[in-house]
Amino acid sequence: MVKIKDIELGEFPLLLAPMEDVSDPPFRALCKKFGADLMFTEFISSEGLIRDAAKSVQKLDIFEYERPIGIQIFGSEIDSMRQSAEICESAKPDIIDINYGCPVKKVACKGAGAGILQDIPKMVEMTAEIVKSTKLPVTVKTRLGWDESSKYIVEVAERLQDVGIQAISIHGRTRSQMYKGDADWSLIAETKNNPRLYIPVFGNGDIDSPEKAVDYKNRYGVDGVMIGRASIGNPWFFREVKHYIRTGERLPEATLKERVEVAKEHLRFSVEWKGERLGIVEMRRHYANYFKGIENFKPVRAQLVTLESYDELQEVLDSIVESFGSMIYTS
């Protein structure tokens, strides 16, 4: 049984990665439905929380059925991060997670996210302060290092454990790689096999099939895997991985009818949570993934990303099975 402090996650938990503009409550609801064991919010700016910025505060919304759920924060100032952890605690998550992995320029070049990998002592000090500021278990998501010459993750994980983190998720790339090339899981395995490390180690990067999830489980010995891009438009992925672990067999792909029903559910929750206008607009980024691989779908997708009426969108979604149901779906 894998545990983060007292939180039981099962024998080989599947984690939903915190993804900006993706891992919101509507999407998380679907991932939970299809088997995610632990989920995280989109990453939240510590400065935004302290300033009470509406967008940051809204990201604190969590629901009972999501548990266990972690709120993820990022920032470059130790005091701001400590204060934001205290604010997050009032939202009653199960975990506070620190983002030391985001590689995007606007975050990393300000010393937040993966940017802090250039200053490991500050990373350790910040983590220690956050651990002291909350009664909740604190976890970390990070990368192998800033670049090829600074892949210190084995030592870093040990130092973070020593100041009190309860688990670590490691993306198998450096910041300089961004999302290019293949993720290197050998250093994730080395971290896991460090005899001084006793906290759970979750691997992240390039898990895009049930077969790969099981292969990496067996090959690298991680306690679980964190799934990101493979779940976008495909919340069934968690169910497929669990079935494959249990049986060694692949589940059939979700049918077009299932895809339509889940897209409608996603849209409905998006509108309920964000309001009609914003819910419709922010749902647009998901349609291409839900209906990827359908021939001659472009005109329908054009409607889905331009219509502004909830009822009209429902009608278009309902028409998809009738129009394309006989076509072979290829993911």
CATH of the domain at 83: 3.20.20.70
Catalytic residues: 102
Give pLDDT, residue 194: 97
Q: What is residue 330's predicted lDDT score, i.e. its pLDDT?
A: 47
The Cα 284–Cα 22 span in angstroms is 11
Whether residues 160 and 290 share a domain: the answer is: no
Task: Show the DSSP H helices in 62-152 as ranges.
Answer: 78-90, 105-108, 120-133
| Residue 156 located in a structural domain | yes
Mean pLDDT of the chain, nearest integer: 94
Q: Is residue 327 scored above 80 in pLDDT?
A: no
For residue 229, being part of any structural domain is answered with yes
What's the pLDDT score for residue 328?
A: 46
Answer yes or no: do 137 and 220 share one domain: yes
Q: Quick one: 9 and 92 in the same domain?
A: yes
Indicate whether 205 belongs to any domain.
Answer: yes
pLDDT of residue 322: 87
Q: Identify the CATH number of the domain in which residue 290 sits.
A: 1.10.1200
pLDDT digits (tens, 9 = 90+) for 41-98: 999 999 999 998 888 999 999 999 999 999 999 999 999 999 999 999 999 999 999 9
Closest CA to 142 of 170, 103, 117: 170
Same domain, 221 and 285: no
Assigned domain for 329 exists: no
**Residues 265-292, mean pLDDT to the nearest whole number:** 94
Expressed as residue numbers, the domain containing 317 is 256-324
Asked if the structure places residue 155 within a domain, the reply is yes
Judged against a pLDDT cut of 80, whether residue 331 lies above it is answered with no
Q: Are residues 87 and 180 in the same domain?
A: yes
Q: What is the pLDDT of residue 323?
A: 85
Q: Which two tokens stand for residue 194?
A: 């460090």
For residue 144, being part of any structural domain is answered with yes
Same domain flag for 136 and 278: no
Q: Does the pLDDT of residue 329 top 60, yes or no? A: no
- Model confidence at 213, in pLDDT bands (50, 70, 90)? very high
pTM of the model: 0.94
Domain annotation covers residue 57 = yes
pLDDT band at 295 (very low <50, low <70, confident <90, very high): confident
Q: Which helix (H) or strand (E) holds 204?
A: strand 201-204
Residue environment code for 13-46, b if the CB has 16+ CB neighbours within 10 A, otherwise e: bbbbbbbeebbbbbbbbbbbebbbbbbbbbbbbb
Residues 82 and 221 in one domain: yes
331, part of any domain: no
Beta strand segments in 13-68, E: 14-16, 38-40, 44-45
Is the same domain home to 189 and 301?
no
Asked, as a colleague might, if the bond just before 68 is cis with ω within 30 of 0, I would say yes
Q: 69 and 150 share a domain?
A: yes
Count of positions (residues) in the chain: 331
Do 172 and 279 belong together in one domain?
A: no
Task: Find the helix or strand (DSSP H, E) in which 99 lies.
Answer: strand 95-100
Sequence-separated (6 or more) residues with CB below 8 Å from residue 195: none
Phi/psi of residue 248, each to 5°? 75, 10
DSSP symbol at 252: P
Choosing from 192, 218, 247, the residue where a domain stops is 247
Last residue of a domain, one of 229, 247, 265: 247
Name the 3-class secondary structure at 70. strand
From 219, 247, 275, the end of a domain falls on: 247
Same domain for 212 and 311?
no
Please tell me the number of Cα atoms within 13 Å of 23 on its side-chain side: 28
- The reply to whether 16 and 148 lie within a common domain is yes
Q: What is the mean pLDDT of residues 31-45?
A: 96
Residues 6+ apart with CB under 8 A from 158: 194, 196, 197
CA nearest neighbour of 148 among 176, 108, 117, 190? 176
Q: According to the model, what pLDDT value does residue 326 have? A: 52
Tell me the average pLDDT across 269-284: 95
Split into its structural domains, the chain has a count of 2
Looking at residue 6, the DSSP 8-state letter turns out to be T
Residue 65 or residue 324, greater confidence: 65
